[in-house]
Structure 1
Amino acid sequence: MSPKGSSSLKIDRSVKTLRELTLEKMRDAILSAYFKPGERLVERSLCEELGVSRSIVREVLRHLETEGLVESIPHQGPVVATLDADKAAQIYEIRALLEGHAARLCAERADDETIVRLAAINEEIQAAFARNDFHEVLASTSAFYELMFEGSGQTMAWEIVQSLNARINRLRAMTISSAGRATEAAAEMRLLVEALKRRDPQSAHDASVAHVKRVADIAARKLAEMADASPAADLEAAPAALAGSD
């Protein structure tokens, strides 16, 4: 792979460790389709683009492999993992089970401050949608669910979700750019937040599960379209605006 002729992947070393910054940059580059599914990730080219050592690149690629974003192909080396429809369906099944249960318990157990914060984060998500800031949509959505699981007391369940978080966000990056998705998502999340405010466990559970099932349907359709696309077609539906984000 030849360098893409862009400095968008260069690392700002002022805050986090170089390895952490490189990992975040590479993860964002995959989520944004800067690197396409199936694209080879050549260490030397990545060193040049990122401005880091080969040892850091190797560590980061190994970490991304554990997250399911990179896979090693015999006689070819690391490549961006392809999006698998069957695995995606399983991820959404797990999400529906865990998020639905967490929403139910959050409505029962969370303190008032947590509910207020969840409502505020949801407002941030919708504001990010309105300005087409999909990177912020992903970040705020992750923060919403982390707080909901925390408020429900389901810390072990959140650890399971975190282990899938990179793949969840990759699918989320694909679905949030769908036509009309911003309006749909706002309505779905509003139902969830209102149920939490009312302390209505069953409605919170149902709203959470309905939201997951809807995005599962969108993802299944998009993955089917990708499978039918010609090799020359763009294989990733995530918005280009994410590319090179910090």
Structure 2
Amino acid sequence: MIAPSAKPDFRVEKIAAPLRQSVTESIRYAIALGRFTAGERLTERELCEMTGVSRTLVREALRQLESEGLIEVVPNRGPSVARLSAEQAEGVYQVRAELEGLACQLFAQFADNDQRAALHEAFRKLKRSFKDTDPLARLRAKNHFYDCLVDGTGNQALGDTLRLLNARIMLLRATSLRAPGRSAVSMAELSAMMEALDAKDGKKARALAEHHVHNAAKAAIELLYTQPEPAPAKPKRAAKQAAAARA
């Protein structure tokens, strides 16, 4: 769960365009950062209050998140946060290591000066974000860094494939960063990767990227294995009957 002092703001700017995409992103971040936990039921009212938008936009966002596998809709219960098992996480990380390793290799070979400058600026923002107490700022900065990396590969298919996994990658990225000491190690790994990219050493950059993902996988999966399974919530009627019986 998010530390109370952090208080990330998931409200959506009304000027953002397209608005539906911004609402979906806000709920996606809220799930990734533990605002809603695995198995927790998502109510339209709470999501409307959190994002500051209409039920129609929230419903559209929920349909998109269901297609991404981040939520599941149970008959007679409604949408809830999907559970990602350690085995599923391992599968995502295996694919992510290959894709991000390839992204680094291609970036080293093909990125132009503007794309390299954009990646450096994103990396500077990422380093600054790690000094921030807001986990949302850190996660946004990390995602932006990888967006810039993929933009410099010149490979649209690679970017499209990573976007298909984006929701689960982001969830796992937030999980790994919660591991004690992982943030500092992560930045050191990325710094080494940046040096290889600057040297245009694609082979080394790929190996460092894969090493970074493997370490992130270890941190996240250890947390997933140790997370206790929450007790299923009782239906409201059953809870009222139980309370009446105890009275």
TM-score of the pair, normalised by structure 1: 0.82
Task: Determine the structure 2 residue equivalent to 1:115.
Answer: 116
1:120 and 1:165 map into 2 onto residues whose CA distance is 22
8 Å contact from structure 1 (residues 175, 219) kept in 2: yes
After TM superposition, give the deviation of residue 84 of structure 1 in Å.
1.8
Task: Determine the structure 2 residue equivalent to 1:231.
Answer: 230
8 Å contact from structure 1 (residues 108, 201) kept in 2: yes
**1:137-156 aligned within 5 A:** 137-156=138-157
Larger Rg: 2
8 Å contact from structure 1 (residues 35, 80) kept in 2: yes
2:73 partner SS = strand
- Check 1:75–1:15 CA distance in 2 against 1; reply closer, same or farther (3 A cut): closer
Task: Determine the structure 2 residue equivalent to 1:170.
Answer: 171
After TM superposition, give the deviation of residue 97 of structure 1 in Å.
0.8
What residue identity is the alignment partner of 2:102?
H
Task: Determine the structure 2 residue equivalent to 1:72.
Answer: 73
Task: Determine the structure 2 residue equivalent to 1:237.
Answer: none
Q: Which has the higher contact order (CA 8 A, sep 6+)?
A: 1
Deviations 1:193-240 (A, max 9, x none): 0001111111101110000000011111000011xx2637xxxxxxxx
Task: Determine the structure 1 residue equivalent to 2:127.
Answer: 126
1:60 and 1:98 map into 2 onto residues whose CA distance is 27
Task: Determine the structure 2 residue equivalent to 1:43.
Answer: 44
1:78 partner SS = strand
What residue identity is the alignment partner of 1:231?
P
1:39 partner SS = coil
- Check 1:45–1:180 CA distance in 2 against 1; reply closer, same or farther (3 A cut): closer
8 Å contact from structure 2 (residues 132, 138) kept in 1: no
Unaligned runs of 5+ in 1: 1-7, 233-246
**1:74-223 aligned within 5 A:** 74-223=75-224
Deviations 1:151-170 (A, max 9, x none): 12121111111111111111
- Check 1:121–1:73 CA distance in 2 against 1; reply closer, same or farther (3 A cut): same
1:94 and 1:133 map into 2 onto residues whose CA distance is 29
CA RMSD of aligned residues (A): 2.3
8 Å contact from structure 2 (residues 122, 148) kept in 1: no
Unaligned runs of 5+ in 2: 1-8, 232-247
1:47 and 1:29 map into 2 onto residues whose CA distance is 13
Shifted more, 205-214 versus 141-150: the winner is 141-150
* Equivalent residues, number: 224
TM-score of the pair, normalised by structure 2: 0.81
2:229 and 2:101 map into 1 onto residues whose CA distance is 37
What residue identity is the alignment partner of 2:86?
A
Query: Structure 1 vs Structure 2: percent identity of aligned residues?
Result: 37
8 Å contact from structure 1 (residues 134, 176) kept in 2: no
- Check 1:205–1:17 CA distance in 2 against 1; reply closer, same or farther (3 A cut): closer
Shifted more, 203-212 versus 125-134: the winner is 125-134
After TM superposition, give the deviation of residue 53 of structure 1 in Å.
3.8
